[in-house]
Structure 1
Amino acid sequence: MESLIQKLEFYLPYKFKLLLRGSQNGFTPERFHKLCDNKFFTVTFIKVKGTEEIIGGCNPSVWKSVGDYSKAKDSFIFSFKSKDNFKDSILSYIKDHNKALYFCSNYGPTFDDDLDIYVEDGYDNKNYNFIRCKQQSYEKKIRDTEDKFLIDDYEVFQILKRDH
């Protein structure tokens, strides 16, 4: 996934500060909230296990551990068939601003049901065991299926303005 970020940084006036990488920091909500809560403007990249697919979303607000929905006018989710194929990408903007994001201590970066990642039995120190994309509050679905899936890795970056 780093090569995708490197490609993006080359063209943008922003830099991407890595806050979390699942393969290094763990695949638990506890680690996600410890490293990502209260950080403005984050983007999440998820590598779907067994495919070349990369999905994710942008949160212009902050992540929190409270159990509630959050409004976000400029939030969006996306998918790429592979890190080398941008031709069939999907970009889906929020249509229900009141349910752009969902915060809870046993959830990871969640964009309503459209990109849902959490621990099903409610323990925030266990690995994620429920990951699914079901179109709800965003304009387009980002996966062809609503089935649960596993992830190879995921990363959360904070987007910062480049210093010139």
Structure 2
Amino acid sequence: SNEILGGYNPIGWKFDGDYGVTKDSFIFSFNNDSFENYILSRVKNEKEAIRKILYLSQGPSFGDLYLFQSASNQLKISCKNTTYEKQISIINDSIILEFELFKINI
């Protein structure tokens, strides 16, 4: 797949409780062949916008969009439609070929 998925987390990954609260987070997707057909989904449930990483097998989580390591040690991604306005992808438990994570300090 040429699909690119991502998200913006304005609060970081360290917070009290299981979820970080923010109304400014969003997730997105687009096809690498066509940037015009992007999907931008803003958070609708700010109390579950960002999920804390509880286990070493979990990666970054934006509520609906999260990375995890399967029992067979494959890096996978899941995309639901509960915490954000729109479903950004129909993939579920797909194997990741490559991912990048950036931290920007201003």
Residue 2 (structure 2) aligned to one of 47, 52, 58: 52
User: Which residue is equivalent to 1:76?
Assistant: 26
Deviations 1:65-107 (A, max 9, x none): 876111012000000111x421110000001000001012322
**2:79 is the counterpart of 1:133:** yes
AA of the residue aligned to 2:69 = V
In 1, Cα distance between the equivalents of 2:5 and 2:60?
12
AA of the residue aligned to 1:111 = F
SS at match of 2:47: helix
Asked whether the 8 Å contact 1:55–1:77 carries over to 2, the reply is yes
Deviations 1:104-143 (A, max 9, x none): 232211011x10222356xxxx945442101011000100
In 1, Cα distance between the equivalents of 2:15 and 2:75?
18
> Aligned pair count?
104
More helix by share: 1
User: Which residue is equivalent to 1:102?
Assistant: 51
User: Which residue is equivalent to 1:157?
Assistant: 102
Identity of aligned residues (%): 41
Which structure would you say has the larger Rg?
Answer: 1
Asked whether the 8 Å contact 1:67–1:105 carries over to 2, the reply is no
Runs in 1 of length 4+ with deviation above 4 angstroms? 126-130
Higher relative contact order (CA 8 A, sep 6+): 1
AA of the residue aligned to 1:76 = F
In 2, Cα distance between the equivalents of 1:72 and 1:65?
12
When normalised by structure 1's length, the TM-score is 0.56
User: Which residue is equivalent to 1:147?
Assistant: 92
When normalised by structure 2's length, the TM-score is 0.83
| Unaligned stretches of 5+ residues in structure 1 | 1-50
Task: Give the direction of change, closer, same or farther, for the CA distance of 1:149–1:85 in structure 2 (3 Å limit).
Answer: same
In 2, Cα distance between the equivalents of 1:147 and 1:105?
20
| Unaligned stretches of 5+ residues in structure 2 | none
